[in-house]
């Protein structure tokens, strides 16, 4: 089978599954709305534990879960004294004003410690298990990209500790994992690109969990974020995640930075959309029990990104796609691990190895029936790209 056929078949299967998921949710929602029920006091709401809660994705999950007012949320994280902890503390303080007891913080949660995780998972109805191939210090990524042996071991130490902690807490009925788009080509068609080890490793973790008897919904989401400059775009200097030029690019006049070819189509996601769908998974566990669920916020190429910048700008400012050369990333990666993630992504996807879950914006229409997506145009406006004037410094 050729690569394009394999990818197309997988994308169609994902689209069909999502259509069925949406129909099942809407049916259950209608049935529940027909049954009158009284609102539970906060103390009686089911408790959801979220690991790595100072990270971009999991912070958004904590935020969106708390906004539903349907769950108590235990936000677990490792390091104290970071900007990310301050951001989480502000969320807790705001929540306490109107819904005291709904959201709590738990610092010092070592993801490698079965003892610590067992204690922190106590009384949880569900947990979000974020397994990472990275280590991070105060928000700065120190990844294992050049060290697959120790990197794989680090991932599995986390996974085993999580499994044992969940098994030690019978109150936990449902787990959620967050991973890249599923591999659609390895073993199905001949490809030259080798899957990066940490993508391969994390794609295996959900099935590892299930093999130990855990009920796990795996959320497959894009590797490309609107607001996290681990790959392409960032919002402001306060949000820079590294020191290289790649991590400090901004959209500005005549510059829309990217790491892919300008006509290469990828899927994008805003972390708020991830958080909303995780809330829906816990709300309708019968729909999501032990399945893989694929979601995204946007489908576009670099050229289409430029078009959207032009479309929303009010002053006729010009934008041009500027690709960060792969050979430059290769050179930087020799002495800076920070670049390895985006380099491997671009190699894996650009070399026709894997592909994303949605081929067109139309493929995401079913998801809008449950949660209208945070569009890229909205993100550009939040960055102020709509007001960027020609000649602005």
Is 190 contained in some domain? yes
Residue of higher predicted confidence among 157 and 328: 157
Give the C-alpha separation, 211 to 252, whole Å: 48
pLDDT of residue 88: 94
114: in domain:
yes
Looking at every residue in the chain, the average pLDDT score rounds to: 87
pLDDT of residue 391: 87
Q: How far is it, in rounded angstroms, from Cα 127 to Cα 177?
A: 9
pLDDT in tens, 353-370: 888 999 999 999 999 999
pLDDT of residue 191: 76
The residue segments making up the domain with residue 198 are 3-387
Mean per-residue pLDDT, 109-113: 93
With a cut of 80, say whether residue 192 has pLDDT above it: no
What pLDDT is attached to residue 193? 73
Look at residue 77 and tell me if it is in a domain. yes
Domain total of the chain: 1
Residues 6+ apart with CB under 8 A from 163: 208, 209, 212, 214
The more confidently predicted of residues 332 and 20 is 20
pLDDT above 70 covers what percent of the chain? 89
Say what the pLDDT of residue 226 is: 83
Q: What is the pLDDT of residue 263?
A: 93
Residues 201-222 have a mean pLDDT of 96
Using 50, 70 and 90 to split pLDDT, how confident is the model at 146?
A: low
Is there a contact between 52 and 127 (Cβ–Cβ < 8 Å)? no
Give the pLDDT confidence score for residue 356 in this predicted structure.
92
Q: Is 53 a residue whose pLDDT tops 60?
A: yes
Residue 268 pLDDT > 60, yes or no?
yes
pLDDT at residue 248 greater than cutoff 80: no
Report, as an integer, the average pLDDT of 93-98: 97
Whether 257 maps to a domain, the answer reads yes
Q: Is 44 within the bounds of a domain? A: yes
Residue, of 339 and 203, whose pLDDT is higher: 203
Q: What is the pTM of this model?
A: 0.91
Q: What is the DSSP string of 229-269?
A: TTTS--S-GGG---SSSGGG---BTTBEEESS-TT--EEEE
Is residue 209's pLDDT more than 80? yes
Per-residue pLDDT averaged across 332-347, rounded?
A: 75
Contact 219, 283 (CB under 8 A): no
d(CA 293, CA 221) in angstroms, rounded, equals 9
Question: Which has more pLDDT, 259 or 220?
Answer: 220
Would you state the pLDDT for residue 99? 97
pLDDT at 87 over 80: yes
Instruction: Please give the DSSP secondary-structure letter assigned to residue 74.
Output: E
pLDDT digits (tens, 9 = 90+) for 272-289: 999 999 999 999 999 999
Provide the CATH number for the domain around residue 110.
3.40.50.720
In this prediction, residue 223 carries a pLDDT of 85
Contacts of 275 (CB under 8 A, 6+ apart): 57, 60, 61, 62, 63, 64, 65
**Phi/psi zone of residue 101: left (φ > 0), alpha (ψ -120 to 50 degrees), beta?**
left
Helix (H) or strand (E) segment spanning residue 210: helix 197-211
Choice among 87-96, 104-113, 126-135 with the minimum mean pLDDT? 126-135
pLDDT, residue 372, reads: 96
393 within domain boundaries? no
What value does the mean pLDDT take over residues 331-348? 76
Whether residue 150 has pLDDT greater than 80: no
Mean pLDDT of 186-208: 86
What pLDDT is stored for residue 134 in this prediction?
Answer: 60
pLDDT at 229: 40
Residue 300 DSSP class: E
Mean pLDDT of 347-357: 81
SS3 385: helix
Kindly state whether residue 392 falls inside one of the protein's structural domains: no
In this structure, of 229-238, 259-268, 333-342, the range with the lowest mean pLDDT score is 229-238
The pLDDT assigned to 367 comes to 97
Q: What pLDDT sits at residue 160?
A: 97
Split at pLDDT 50, 70, 90, the class of 246 is: very low
The pLDDT assigned to 236 comes to 47
In the predicted model, what is the mean pLDDT of residues 166-180?
A: 97
């Amino acid at each position: 089978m050729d690569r394009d056929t394999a990818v197309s078949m997988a994308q169609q299967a994902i689209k069909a599954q999502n259509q069925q998921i949406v129909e099942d949710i809407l049916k259950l929602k209608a049935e529940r709305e027909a049954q009158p029920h009284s609102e539970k006091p906060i103390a009686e709401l089911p408790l959801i534990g979220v690991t790595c809660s100072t990270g971009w994705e999991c912070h958004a999950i904590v935020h969106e879960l708390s906004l539903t007012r349907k769950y108590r949320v235990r936000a677990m994280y490792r390091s104290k004294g970071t900007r990310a902890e301050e951001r989480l503390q502000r969320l807790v303080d705001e929540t306490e004003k109107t819904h005291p007891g709904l959201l709590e913080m738990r610092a010092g949660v070592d993801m490698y410690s079965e003892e610590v995780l067992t204690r922190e998972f106590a009384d949880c109805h569900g947990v979000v298990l974020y397994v990472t191939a990275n280590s991070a210090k105060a928000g700065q990524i120190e990844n294992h990209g050049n060290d697959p042996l120790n990197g794989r071991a680090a991932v599995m130490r986390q996974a085993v500790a999580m499994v044992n902690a969940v098994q030690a807490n019978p109150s936990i009925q449902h787990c959620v994992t967050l991973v890249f788009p599923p591999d659609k080509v390895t073993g199905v068609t001949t490809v030259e690109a080798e899957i990066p080890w940490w993508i391969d490793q994390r794609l295996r973790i959900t099935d590892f969990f299930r093999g130990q008897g855990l009920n796990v919904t795996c959320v497959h989401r894009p590797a490309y974020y609107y607001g996290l400059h681990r790959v392409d775009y960032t919002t402001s200097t306060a949000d820079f995640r590294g020191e290289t030029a790649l991590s400090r690019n901004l959209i500005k006049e005549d510059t829309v930075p990217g790491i892919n070819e300008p006509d290469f189509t990828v899927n994008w996601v805003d972390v708020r959309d991830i958080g909303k769908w995780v809330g829906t998974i816990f709300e309708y566990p019968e729909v999501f029990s032990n399945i893989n669920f694929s979601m995204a916020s946007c489908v576009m190429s670099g050229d289409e990104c430029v078009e959207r910048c032009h479309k929303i700008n009010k002053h006729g400012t010009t934008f041009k796609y500027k690709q960060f050369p792969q050979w430059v990333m290769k050179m930087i990666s020799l002495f800076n691990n920070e670049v390895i993630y985006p380099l491997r992504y671009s190699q894996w996807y650009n070399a026709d190895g894997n592909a994303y879950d949605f081929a067109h914006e139309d493929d995401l229409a079913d998801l809008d029936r449950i949660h209208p997506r945070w569009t890229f145009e909205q993100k550009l406006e939040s960055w102020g790209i709509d007001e960027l004037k020609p000649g602005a410094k």
